[in-house]
Amino acid sequence: MTTYARLDPIETAIGLLRKQEDPLARLPAIRALRAELAAHDERLDDLLRQTVLEARSQTPPATWAEIGALLNVSMQRAYQLADEYLGKKIAEAKK
């Protein structure tokens, strides 16, 4: 299993924020970085859910237990992730 190190660009951005001497200038910069990371987090959630469904559609399909183990969650939680994604897509289609 591959272990992913912290992303260097994030560490670089945090390092730049720490170097900002004026705390009043640093506060909105921190807020902006958090907003950007939150947007990426949502996209990663979608990618994770899509990938779970892809793993289930393989021949032979990955089991919920296998997927859960790879995500370090229970097999029930792995199923919930896929179910949340499908529910979201159905709701979007109804709009």
Note whether 23 and 58 are within 8 A (CB).
Answer: no
Cβ atoms 18, 10 nearer than 8 A: no
Give the pLDDT score at 84: 79
Give me the residues of the chain with pLDDT under 50, please: 1
- pTM score of the predicted model: 0.62
pLDDT at 41: 85
Q: Please classify residue 52 by burial: count the beta carbons closer than 10 Å to its beta carbon, then call 0-12 exposed, 13-18 middle and 19+ buried.
A: buried
Q: Residue 8 has what pLDDT? A: 79
What is the C-alpha to C-alpha distance for residues 65 and 3, in angstroms, rounded to an integer? 20
Kindly state the DSSP code that residue 4 receives in the 8-state scheme: P
Residue 68 has a pLDDT of 95
